[in-house]
Amino acid sequence: MTDRRETNRKPKHRPNRPKRPSKGLERDWSEGERIAKYLARAGVASRREAEAMIERGEVRVDGRKLTTPAFKVTGREDIRVHGKRVQAHEPVRVWRYHKPSGLITTTSDPEGRRTIFDELPKSLPRTITIGRLDLTTEGILLLTNDGHLARAMELPKTGFVRHYRARAHGETTQEILDSLKGGVTLDDGTRYTSIEAELERQTGTNNWLNVRLTEGKNREVRKALEHLGLQVNRLIRTQYGPFELSDLRPGAVEEIPAEVLREQLKDVIPSKLLPQEPEDRPQRRRPSGGARVHRRKR
């Protein structure tokens, strides 16, 4: 006997019952945001790191272990990482940090070297870096509690200029340094776009240079100058986009006021990623000298 489907038959009356939750955690809710994005905005880890945590079974929602990052949350759930409950998103915050030489900017190091996170004040919430500085490079490093803002500020399309002061050993002239303006291709095929380098002064065989670039690739200043026969023996980043190192002492951390962030970033960063402006906005106060900022040159 073949099966029949009766299309016009009136269904039997059944009392309204709440829908039973689907089995497993692969359900995709119509509201909320993906768990990895939520964890990144909460400052737990970057989105990629959060996805890796989920794959390792380190994330639980309402007591159940997640098996896939394709899952949405609203923030009303009991979300835990390594057994510790994740708090709701905090307001977006950004700090200026004067990174000393001798520290790396990753959260941990297989070689056991000290990281900036070992040295930051314990009162600081969990933060991630906006860009990085290598082991021996000093100067301004921006920190934030919001992964999306960090990624947005690192994108080349922002046009943020990185300013450095470099001390380099070797012989050079301004004419040689100007060759970097048209970009440079290293022997290994690495290509750098325009780099501006100005010879500030010479002391014996050491040269003090002011360097400006927009890409910020790994060890870009050192490698570009090495291509010209110069060996960098000290490198200080003095400015990242509109934010300046100023007189911030090595190891010190200072928060950038929310109103300054909005004012300096409103033209290049989506407003939804910036600190929200309160309804009753207090009178704007001028940032202190330690928080001095400069507008990006156009």
Residues belonging to the active site? 134
DSSP class per residue in 107-175: S--TT---BHHHHS-TTS---EEES---TTEEEEEEEES-HHHHHHHHSGGG-PPEEEEEEEES---HH
- Interacting residues of 34 by C-beta distance below 8 A, sequence separation 6+: 69, 70, 71, 72
Spatial CA neighbour of 43 closest among 80, 2, 12, 89: 89
Q: Which helix (H) or strand (E) holds 36?
A: helix 35-41
**CA–CA dist 239, 213 (Å, integer):** 11
**CA–CA dist 224, 245 (Å, integer):** 23
Q: Which residues sit opposite 115 in a β-bridge?
A: 104
**CA–CA dist 175, 172 (Å, integer):** 8
**CA–CA dist 129, 86 (Å, integer):** 20
